[in-house]
Structure 1
Amino acid sequence: MAVGKSAIGQQLAQQLDVPFVDTDAVIVEAHGSIADIFANRGERAFREIEVRTVAGAVEAAEGTATVISLGGGAVLDSGTQQLISCCTVVYLECDAETVAGRITRNTGRPLLVGDAVARWTAVFAERKPVYERLADITLDVRHGSVAELGERLEAALRSYAAAKQEVEQ
């Protein structure tokens, strides 16, 4: 949460000249704000919508080079984990100090109500092992502009693809 998935994803898609899909934006367009979904229907309803949205995005992108940004909690669903196992998964590694400014001024994050930094730290501690397990590539996003991070990620993807191709031969 708040690590720059959308900005870095858009940057990478632009660099690679490929489509970009932000599943949170797709949800908002179809169902209204995430905060409203949480408030009116609950987290469980949101997660059900999220699972369907991610599945739709991954299935629509099958066979193409598409950058898809998932919400931070999307990978907690075992079905989503299986679905993205055929994709190159990137974990944008960050820490509370780096995201503090973003999360304390953004009130639209339902899981961070109250002490946003403490909540982020707790949520991240639960999710980090899943992120690490699923990731093909880990990119430290604590330092650098969005453009610099996009360049580093593109280089990491090219390196990963070359190594993967070498193994397959």
Structure 2
Amino acid sequence: MAVGKTAIGQQLAKQLRAPFVDTDALIVENHGSIADIFAGRGEHAFREIEARTVARVIEDAIATPTVISLGGGAVLDSGTQQLLARCTVVYLECDPETVSERIARNSGRPLLAGDPMSRWMDLFTTRRPVYERLADLVFDVRHGSVSELGRQLEEALRELPEGAAAIAKETAAAPAVPENVALKEEVEQ
């Protein structure tokens, strides 16, 4: 959370002329705010909704290469992990100092109630091994504007052995995204 997955994902999708889907935004659109889901139905219900949403997005993206932004907890679901094997997964890496500044500006995250940075560090410590295991690419987002990071990420994806061939294929309008690019960041709801 607060790493920039939505902004960077949108920038990458724009560069690649590919669709962009933010799974958290889809959940909010179809089920109401994440905070309300947590408060009214609990984290378990949210995770079930999240897993179904991610599965539908990945299945829909099979025919159309897509940049997908996932919430940080989405990757903890074993079914989601299996689906991500079809995607090029990018782990957006950032430092606690940068995240702290961003979290301070947005306090409406249910899993960060109380001491946000302490909760963030706990979640990150638990989730980091999963992110690293699933990632095809670890991408540092600490320095640079969104457009610079988007260009750097596109370059890094082109350098991936399996991504290079997929990006090099031309579609009618633009280079294709390697399979689907699923962006996940250090911690999300």
Q: TM-score range by the shorter chain?
A: over 0.9
More helix by share: 1
- Distance in structure 1 (CA, Å) of the matches to 2:38 and 2:107: 13
Partner of residue 162, structure 1: 164
2:179 is matched with which residue?
none
Distance 2:46 2:146 in 1: 28
- Looking at structure 2, the residues matched to 66 and 99 of structure 1 have their Cα atoms a distance apart, in angstroms, of 26
Distance apart, 1:105 and its partner CA: 2.1
After TM superposition, the runs of 4+ consecutive aligned structure 1 residues lying more than 2 A away are: 162-165
Q: CA RMSD in A?
A: 1.4
Give the TM-score normalised by structure 2.
Answer: 0.84
Q: In the TM superposition, what is the alpha-carbon distance from 1:163 to its structure 2 partner?
A: 7.4
Distance, in Å, in 2 between the alignment partners of 1:29 and 1:75 is 21
Superposed, which structure 2 residues align to 1:21-32 within 5 Å? 21-32=21-32
Instruction: Provide the residue aligned with 2:174 in structure 1.
Output: none
Counterpart in the other structure of 2:82: 82
Q: Contact conserved, 1:81 with 1:134, CA < 8 A, in 2?
A: yes
CA contact (8 A) 1:104 1:117 kept: no
How much does 1:164 deviate? 8.4
SS state of the match for residue 126, structure 2? Answer: helix
Match of 2:175 in 1: none
Q: Name 2:128's counterpart in structure 1.
A: 128
Identity of aligned residues (%): 72
Structure with bigger RCO (C-alpha 8 Å, 6+ apart): 2
In the TM superposition, residue 96 of structure 1 has moved relative to its aligned partner by 1.2
Amino acid at match of 2:158: R
Q: Structure 1 163/137 Cα, relative in aligned 2: closer, same or farther at 3 Å?
A: farther
Give me the TM-score of the superposition, normalised by structure 1: 0.94
Structure 2, gaps ≥5 residues long: 168-189
